[in-house]
């Protein structure tokens, strides 16, 4: 373990191991989820995954269905909700009025949307910052309310999604007439035409994401577990975290099982396949919560982090910077507007490229940590949000 990292043990204690580990690992899951979206020469498989051409591809696809797809996004949303509460409470503890603290939260959310626009339009990455910035605006009013209001809002919104998501996706797959989606990119794409297309379409992207995917329930769950300090003081909630992990993983895995049968041992109608896909998304809420709980348990048990843990935590502290970096690297290596490997590799190789990109990010984050430097985008965001 390097000396500079060891010298900051006291500083790390002020942060939650659980949150930094979760955020750092989340970046890997997101990179693995987004990599297949650039494989434009592959035949559509199930949902956003492409068809397997060998055993390794098949393993990667199954792993993605069970542990990544609609689970990484939910984990991101849980951590977002947790971070909103931490930011709000931190400002209140420093003497800010609730009204001013909420203004700061909303300003931060607007800047996340701006960063998302830059990522989607000018870098060409798969953006979710706009959607999560919008989520921050939609739920920020609950930060100053009693927990009963939070639970009531979660119940209403989750019920809405449970009723609507399967139907929406049922009609969606019925409309396209396939179990999977055609690629969003093609060999004829250029940087300019891709940028211009996104420039005109970006305003609807976050709205469509919230309409098509149950993000808000996960954000609200994150706010609830933050109110109970499950990840910042996990040692006080071990039994609860274990219970959440067991139940959440069970629901998540059972919800993934029907999707894994599609196109292989089961060939239902496209509408039924859409219903199954909707079930996969809804049970992903439980999966994302379970992942967060797992890192709560790890954080409670982790007394002396090793080099790998420290690197992942360094990455988690700079998750905004390296989320954008990872997306830019996926575009660079896989997109037809750059090195175009997406037109020549299979799903398994794309997954290996994603792991390589994430590993490089961890190395770079560790170097920044050793130099006691924050991520560039974290610095910019903080200066924009707290400029007054």
Q: State how far the alpha carbon of 119 is from the alpha carbons of 27, 325, 328, in Å.
A: 16, 10, 8
Q: Which band of pLDDT confidence, cut at 50, 70 and 90, is reported for residue 267?
A: very high
What mean pLDDT, rounded, does the chain reach? Answer: 93
pTM (predicted TM-score): 0.93
pLDDT at 15: 58
Q: State how far the alpha carbon of 132 is from the alpha carbons of 114, 218, 220, 314, in Å.
A: 11, 11, 12, 22
pLDDT at 4: 41
pLDDT digit string, tens, across residues 54-75: 999 999 999 999 999 999 999 9
**149 has pLDDT over 80:** yes
Report d(CA 307, CA 362) in Å as an integer: 11
**12 has pLDDT over 80:** no
pLDDT digit string, tens, across residues 82-132: 999 999 999 999 999 999 999 999 999 999 999 999 999 999 999 999 999
pLDDT at 6: 42
pLDDT digit string, tens, across residues 153-164: 999 999 999 999
Q: Of the candidates 78, 85, 84, 108, which has an alpha carbon nearest to the alpha carbon of residue 219? A: 78
Where in the sequence is the domain holding 202, given as residue range(s)?
Answer: 3-385
Q: Per-residue b/e over 233-243, b at no fewer than 16 CB within 10 Å?
A: ebeebeeebee
Report d(CA 58, CA 113) in Å as an integer: 36
Q: How many domains does the chain have?
A: 1
Q: Which band of pLDDT confidence, cut at 50, 70 and 90, is reported for residue 10?
A: very low
């Amino acid at each position: 373990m390097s000396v500079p990292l060891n010298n900051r043990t006291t500083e790390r204690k002020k942060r939650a191991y659980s949150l930094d580990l979760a955020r750092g690992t989340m970046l890997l899951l997101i990179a693995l989820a987004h990599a297949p979206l650039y494989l434009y020469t592959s035949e559509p498989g199930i949902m956003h995954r492409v068809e397997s051409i060998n055993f390794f591809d098949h393993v990667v696809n199954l792993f993605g269905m069970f542990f990544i797809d609609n689970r990484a996004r939910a984990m991101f949303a849980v951590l977002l909700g947790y971070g909103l509460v931490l930011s709000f409470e931190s400002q209140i503890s420093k003497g800010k009025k609730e009204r001013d603290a909420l203004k700061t939260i909303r300003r931060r959310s607007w800047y996340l949307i701006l960063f998302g626009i830059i990522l989607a339009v000018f870098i060409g990455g798969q953006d979710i910052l706009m959607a999560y910035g919008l989520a921050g605006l939609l739920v920020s009013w609950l930060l100053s309310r009693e927990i009963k209001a939070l639970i009531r809002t979660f119940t209403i919104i989750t019920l809405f999604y449970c009723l609507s998501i399967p139907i929406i996706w049922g009609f969606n797959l019925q409309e396209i007439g396939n179990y999977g989606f055609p690629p969003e990119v093609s060999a004829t794409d250029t940087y300019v035409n891709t940028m211009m297309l996104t420039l005109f379409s970006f305003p609807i992207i976050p709205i469509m994401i919230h309409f098509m995917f149950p993000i808000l329930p996960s954000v609200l769950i994150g706010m609830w577990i933050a109110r109970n300090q499950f990840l910042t003081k996990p040692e006080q909630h071990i039994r609860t975290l274990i219970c959440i992990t067991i139940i959440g993983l069970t629901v998540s895995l059972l919800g993934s099982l029907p999707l894994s049968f599609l196109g292989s041992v089961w060939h239902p109608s496209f509408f039924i396949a859409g219903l199954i896909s909707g079930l996969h998304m809804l049970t992903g809420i439980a999966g994302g919560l379970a992942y967060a709980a797992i890192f709560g348990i790890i954080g409670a048990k982790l007394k002396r982090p090793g080099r790998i843990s420290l690197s992942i935590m360094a990455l988690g502290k700079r998750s905004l910077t390296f989320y954008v970096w990872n997306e830019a690297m996926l575009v660079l290596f896989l997109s037809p507007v750059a090195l175009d490997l997406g037109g020549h590799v299979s799903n398994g190789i794309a997954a290996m490229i994603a792991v390589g990109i994430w590993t490089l990010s961890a190395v770079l984050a560790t170097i920044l940590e050793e130099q006691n430097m924050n991520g560039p985008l974290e610095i910019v965001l903080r200066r924009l949000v707290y400029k007054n």
